[in-house]
Amino acid sequence: MLTTTPNTARPNPGGLPGRPSPARLRPRDVIRVGGAGLRARPLRVFLSALGIAIGIAAMIGVVGISASSQEKLNRQLAALGTNLLTVSPGQTFFGEDSHLPAEAEGMIGQIAPVTSVTATGATGARVYRNDHIGEGQTGGISVLAARLDLPAEVGATVVSGTWLNGATQGLPAVVLGGKAADRLGVVAAGPDQRVWLGGQWFTVVGVLAPVPLAPELDASALVGWPVAEGRLDFDGYPTTVYTRAEEEHVVAVRDVLAATANPENPNEVEVSRPSDALAAKQATDATLNALLLGLGGVALIVGGVGVANTMVISVLERRAEIGLRRSLGATRGQIRSQFLVESLLLSLIGGVGGVLLGIGVTAAYATSQGWPSIVPVWAMAGGVVATLAIGGAAGFYPAVRAARMSPTEALAAP
């Protein structure tokens, strides 16, 4: 059964032979040898990689959720426009409430880049669910006189009923903001839906959806300008002027608005850009994000320690294998790179798993919030690069120890 191949003409090293030189391992073999140690212990690989994956997933999730929320805001701003400016009366030098001149709207409309102007005016009237409610229980709802073009200017839409029109603006008809409708117990607009407003019954003709650029409208009851002046003793002074300017001139318009609205007392005018307020609200989340990123970083470091621990144990357990490989002709460098590659692969598995997990978390959260899902490419690439750095750092010392091991001692290990 035994067949032998006769060894023909062995090279006869009669003279001094050339110095032996080790062969280089092909990259494919380096990966194969490095991966062999992982294939032999799948459970340990899974658990070590899981530590890294959780850290990376936490960081990707934080970045992804914050990017998704930013993207949602950007889309919202793009839809609403960032060229809306509001003008409202501030206070006089003496601390008294000021009011805008009645001509403020007209004068603002004269500014060249201004494309449209509209306004609301506070009437001072109160609104109640019915005529039995006590005087003080206003629910914080203000009654405003509104121009007919208000919804178009601020991007408001009705969820029920209709907006005021030329006919209803002179009648006891009211459109409620979303919060105001809730507080007054109004579910939907209708001819039988009435509220007690300024000592008389007003019919609710419409209910607004929340208005992101003009959140003050949410807790308001809006009536027509003529009916406010006719029935509610409205003085006719606008309290908030909403104006849109050409996008590239918004800043310039903003600078002249105060002086235009109230030339006599420009210091008594407050000008703001609602889209800036929305963006600023977003920025306040940055601190929380930094905290969460820090936590993700800690998880990542703990994961790295787990990988280092796994590698140290792996080297100790595989002394016999190291000795065998040395006897088969592996150089110290080849042993070192075997364990370094093993550590890198282990971390890489964790890193890729973590990126996928982070994408999943982002997608799930963003979908639940109705946001678009965005995970920046730099975050994914950064996550993978970070795991490689961790794998290199964690595997370096064990790999050097494996390479320094004397072949005879390694072979003597059981």
Partner 1 sequence: MSGSGTGTAGGPYIVELSGVDKIYAGGVAALSRAGMSIRYGELVGIIGPSGSGKSTMLNMIGTLDRPTDGTVRIAGHDIAELSDRELSALRAGVIGFVFQHFHLAAGVPSIDNVADGLLYSGVALGERRRRAAETLRRVGLGHRLDHRPHELSGGERQRVAIARAVVGDPLLLLADEPTGNLDSSSGAGVMELLLELHRGGTTVLIITHDRDIAAGLPRRVEMLDGRVVEDSRVGRVSAC
- Rounded to the nearest angstrom, the gap between the alpha carbon of residue 393 and the centroid of all alpha carbons in its chain is 32
- Closer Cβ to partner 1, 185 or 329, answer by number: 329
The one segment of 19-27, 306-314, 347-355, 392-400 that binds partner 1 by CB under 8 A: 19-27
Site for partner 1 in 29-88 (CB under 8 A): 29, 32-33, 36, 39-40
Q: Is 377 in the site for partner 1 (CB under 8 A)?
A: no
Site for partner 1 in 379-408 (CB under 8 A): 406-408
Q: Is 328 in the site for partner 1 (CB under 8 A)?
A: yes
CB of 54 to partner 1, least distance (A): 29
DSSP state of 141: P
CB of 331 to partner 1, least distance (A): 4
Distance (Å, rounded) from C-alpha 77 to C-alpha 79? 5
CB of 370 to partner 1, least distance (A): 50
Task: Write out the two tokens for 130.
Answer: 């019915």
Provide, for the chain, the percentages of residues in helix, strand and coil under a 3-state DSSP scheme, each rounded to the nearest 5: 55, 15, 30
- Closer Cβ to partner 1, 384 or 411, answer by number: 411
The single residue among 189, 207, 271, 330 that binds partner 1, judged by CB under 8 A, is 330
Site for partner 1 in 145-184 (CB under 8 A): none
Q: Is 334 in the site for partner 1 (CB under 8 A)?
A: yes
Q: Is the dihedral of CA 159, 210, 237, 274 positive or negative?
A: negative
Nearest to 144 by CA among 36, 261, 228, 222: 222
- Closer Cβ to partner 1, 27 or 136, answer by number: 27
Give the amino acid at 26: R
State whether residue 340 is helix, strand or coil: helix
The single residue among 27, 28, 79, 280 that binds partner 1, judged by CB under 8 A, is 28
State whether residue 270 is helix, strand or coil: strand
CB of 43 to partner 1, least distance (A): 13
State whether residue 271 is helix, strand or coil: strand
The one segment of 6-14, 139-147, 208-216, 242-250 that binds partner 1 by CB under 8 A: 6-14
State whether residue 242 is helix, strand or coil: strand
CB of 338 to partner 1, least distance (A): 10
Distance (Å, rounded) from C-alpha 373 to C-alpha 357? 14
- Closer Cβ to partner 1, 238 or 323, answer by number: 323
Task: Write out the two tokens for 153.
Answer: 């200017």
- Closer Cβ to partner 1, 19 or 132, answer by number: 19
Q: Is 209 in the site for partner 1 (CB under 8 A)?
A: no
Reported in sequence order, the residue ranges of 134-235 that DSSP labels E, i.e. its strands, are 142-146, 158-161, 173-176, 194-197, 200-208, 220-224
Q: How far is the CA of 325 from the CAs of 163, 198, 239, 404, in angstroms?
A: 83, 94, 85, 13
CB of 50 to partner 1, least distance (A): 22
Distance (Å, rounded) from C-alpha 191 to C-alpha 204? 7
- Closer Cβ to partner 1, 26 or 132, answer by number: 26
Interaction site with partner 1 (CB under 8 A)? 1-8, 10, 12-17, 19-26, 28-29, 32-33, 36, 39-40, 320-321, 323-334, 406-408, 411, 414
